[in-house]
Chains A and B, each alone.
Chain A
Amino acid sequence: MSASPTITTRAGAVAAARTDYAQAGGLKADVRGLHFHYGQRHALKNVNLPVPEKTVTALIGPSGCGKSTLLRCFNRMHDLYPGNRYGGQIILQPSGVNILSPAVDPMEMRLRTGMVFQKPNPFPKSIFENVAYGLRLRFVRDRKTLAEEVEKALNAAAIWDEVKDRLHQSAFKLSGGQQQRLCVARALATNPEILLLDEPTSALDPIATSKIEDMIFALKDSVTILIVTHNMEQAARVADFTAFMYLGELIEYGATSQIFQNPKNQLTEKYLTGSFG
């Protein structure tokens, strides 16, 4: 994938996104025939979703459509709770392995991905230790390496300047928006292959939201991003590709510009024009 270096506005970049994902230079992940059951409830029904590499893919849809459920399949978070059942496959590239297979340990997927949650959830530690948490988990102990990686991550999360003088203060002293960016830095510090964002700005004010969206735009070229958002305008602002879901099914998928300007499915059009949701 070759991003045009002259594109400076987000809107322009989205407009220039490829409509054919096959041209995007390869997939990072491929969801094939995914089903998911919460106990008896059939929450995801036959979802087929390509996730192109180093792009932003947005999952939109009304409440309860299964977008968060789908997102949490990528790092096997559902394994934490009893009674959940996967069906189908999510193939991770370039290894070609189905990450939903029982032979794959959930911890392995969590080591390869990073997740940011709806509400900021910093640990009761200092800002530095929050970001270093993932690195320490991977036995990175050298102080210099840690300091470098923490700085890199905080920079990528666009919060370095605000915290560089108080790295050893408690993370709880930050504002909500800053805490969320800290959580992004924490997820980025381990160089994840996929960054999973679960409605990351729904608890934030517009200024903080805007900062995070700028950050996503800047990150796009270095990591594959999957973002769930209940705010369809946000998808229009940041995503290259958008998937619309409804009641557990993937209704339509395509380049963002195509979905928003020319939806092929009537349900998609009704959602985008505000008939429901």
Chain B
Amino acid sequence: MSEASPKFVRLRPRSFGDAARRAWRERREAAVKWLFFAAAFSSILITLGIVCFLFSESIPFFRNVSLREFLTATEWSPRDEDHPRFGILTLAAATFTTTAIALAVAIPIGTVVALYLSEFAPHLVRESLKPALELLSAVPTVVYGYFAIQFVAPILRWFRPELPDYSMLSAGLVMGIMIIPYISSLSEDAMRSVPMLLREGSYALGANRVITALRVVVPSAFSGIGAAYILGISRAIGETMIVAVAAGNQSLFTFNPLNAAQTITAYIAQASKGDTAHGGIAYQSRFAAGLMLFLMTIAFNLIGYWLRRRYHKAN
């Protein structure tokens, strides 16, 4: 649409008042456009706000804690009065372990489900199962936390009696269940958009559905499937309530899933509860932890965004 009004030759005489009306209309259009732009720009402001506060609130923290200790120490005990330790690796190890367990559940199941729904399932089955699976991602995560300690953990204890009440295993498994629809839905969309012509080429050579799915469809949809995996990773890293409820709040540097441990997100939740002294270094540590969390997720989000762009271009 043109922005300025071009100088046209009038084909018929103007009526009086035309100019005023047109000027008012053009001002209104410009105002509307700027209003909409301001709305869109606000998203940049929000991100700027996040970056701003994460860095500004972490500065007082890093004045007291060396970056070296933060990144390399393996103990995290901010509320220890005599000997507070701030090794983010402790929390990061728990985040890593729970994420790994969740992905070990969600990626295989999610991919197989996506393949099944996209390449094998009859139309009716797909249309009814897909929304049912998407409901898995609509359940509030605190409810998942309850489910983890009241249902999943007792079942796991039946196999492994030494499992404590709170463990990274039960939290990770339930987190995996929650993430399945993220992976299956996006992967399936990627697979469905592989053109039928490619599949026909495979079938015409005598292939069956499995081989066509695995050796033609999956490689073609690779970027889209990768973007789905990255989204799952990002979601698992950022999940708070399931791990806060079910993985316990023990600050422990461990990769053993049978242990209870506190993730970065669970720590931030705990530190935000009323019982931590405001303004103290323990309180500031939650911003440092938040900064770490933000950097981790933004890295994965950018990779995922880039993958999705590549996959859209390829199609």
A and B touch in the complex (CB under 8 A): yes
Q: Please give the residue numbers on chain A whose beta carbons come within 8 Å of chain B beta carbons, in ascending order.
A: 75, 77, 80, 107, 110-111, 113-115, 117, 119, 121-125, 133-134, 137-138, 183, 186-187, 190
State A158–B222 Cα separation when bound (angstroms).
32
Distance in Å: Cβ of A14 to nearest Cβ of chain B: 28
Distance in Å: Cβ of A178 to nearest Cβ of chain B: 16
Contact A134 B203 (CB under 8 A): no
In this complex, the member of B200, B211, B222 whose beta carbon has the largest number of chain A beta carbons within 10 angstroms is: B200
State A117–B203 Cα separation when bound (angstroms).
12
Question: Which A residues are CB-close (under 8 A) to B200?
Answer: 77, 80, 115, 117, 121
Of the candidates B206, B219, B220, B222, the one whose C-beta lies within 8 Å of that of A137 is B206
Contact B197 A117 (CB under 8 A): yes
Interface size class of B (residues with CB under 8 A): 10 to 19
Contact B202 A123 (CB under 8 A): yes
Question: Which B residues are CB-close (under 8 A) to A134?
Answer: 205-206
In this complex, the member of B195, B202, B206, B220 whose beta carbon has the largest number of chain A beta carbons within 10 angstroms is: B206
Distance in Å: Cβ of B127 to nearest Cβ of chain A: 15
13 A-B pairs (CB sep. < 8 Å): A75-B204, A110-B203, A113-B204, A117-B197, A117-B201, A123-B202, A123-B215, A123-B216, A124-B216, A125-B219, A133-B202, A133-B207, A187-B205
State A137–B210 Cα separation when bound (angstroms).
12
Given contacts A123-B198, A137-B205, 20 further A-B contacts (CB under 8 A): A77-B204, A80-B200, A80-B203, A110-B204, A110-B206, A113-B204, A114-B204, A115-B200, A115-B204, A117-B197, A117-B200, A117-B204, A121-B197, A123-B202, A124-B219, A133-B207, A134-B205, A134-B206, A183-B201, A190-B206
Contact with A along B205-240 (1 / 0, CB 8 A): 111100100011001101000000000000000000
State A211–B206 Cα separation when bound (angstroms).
27
Of the candidates B203, B207, B219, the one whose C-beta lies within 8 Å of that of A77 is B203
Question: Which A residues are CB-close (under 8 A) to B211?
Answer: 137
Question: Which B residues are CB-close (under 8 A) to A137?
Answer: 205-207, 211
Q: A124-B219, A124-B220, A125-B219 are in contact. Are A138 and B197 (CB under 8 A)?
A: no
Closest to B218 in A: A124
State A124–B223 Cα separation when bound (angstroms).
12
Of the candidates A80, A110, A124, the one whose C-beta lies within 8 Å of that of B205 is A110
Q: Please give the residue numbers on chain B whose beta carbons come within 8 Å of chain A beta carbons, in ascending order.
A: 195, 197-198, 200-208, 211, 215-216, 219-220, 222
Distance in Å: Cβ of B6 to nearest Cβ of chain A: 42
Question: Which B residues are CB-close (under 8 A) to A110?
Answer: 203-206
Closest to B222 in A: A124
Chain B interface, DSSP helix/strand/loop, else mixed: helix
Question: Which A residues are CB-close (under 8 A) to B220?
Answer: 124
State A133–B220 Cα separation when bound (angstroms).
15
Question: Which B residues are CB-close (under 8 A) to A133?
Answer: 202, 205, 207, 215
Closest to A189 in B: B205
Q: A124-B219, A124-B220, A125-B219 are in contact. Are A107 and B206 (CB under 8 A)?
A: yes
Question: Which A residues are CB-close (under 8 A) to B202?
Answer: 123, 133
Of the candidates A107, A113, A121, A138, the one whose C-beta lies within 8 Å of that of B201 is A121
State A145–B220 Cα separation when bound (angstroms).
28
State A111–B207 Cα separation when bound (angstroms).
8
Distance in Å: Cβ of B183 to nearest Cβ of chain A: 21
State A58–B81 Cα separation when bound (angstroms).
90
Of the candidates A119, A121, A138, the one whose C-beta lies within 8 Å of that of B206 is A138
Closest to A125 in B: B219
State A133–B202 Cα separation when bound (angstroms).
8
Distance in Å: Cβ of B125 to nearest Cβ of chain A: 13
Question: Which A residues are CB-close (under 8 A) to B203?
Answer: 77, 80, 110
Distance in Å: Cβ of A224 to nearest Cβ of chain B: 16
State A164–B207 Cα separation when bound (angstroms).
26
State A22–B205 Cα separation when bound (angstroms).
30
Question: Which B residues are CB-close (under 8 A) to A117?
Answer: 197, 200-201, 204
Closest to A196 in B: B204
Distance in Å: Cβ of B193 to nearest Cβ of chain A: 14
Question: Which B residues are CB-close (under 8 A) to A113?
Answer: 204
State A138–B205 Cα separation when bound (angstroms).
10
Distance in Å: Cβ of A108 to nearest Cβ of chain B: 8
Distance in Å: Cβ of A157 to nearest Cβ of chain B: 15
State A110–B222 Cα separation when bound (angstroms).
27
Contact A121 B205 (CB under 8 A): no
Contact A111 B206 (CB under 8 A): yes
State A133–B222 Cα separation when bound (angstroms).
19
Question: Which B residues are CB-close (under 8 A) to A183?
Answer: 201
State A114–B205 Cα separation when bound (angstroms).
6
Closest to A79 in B: B203
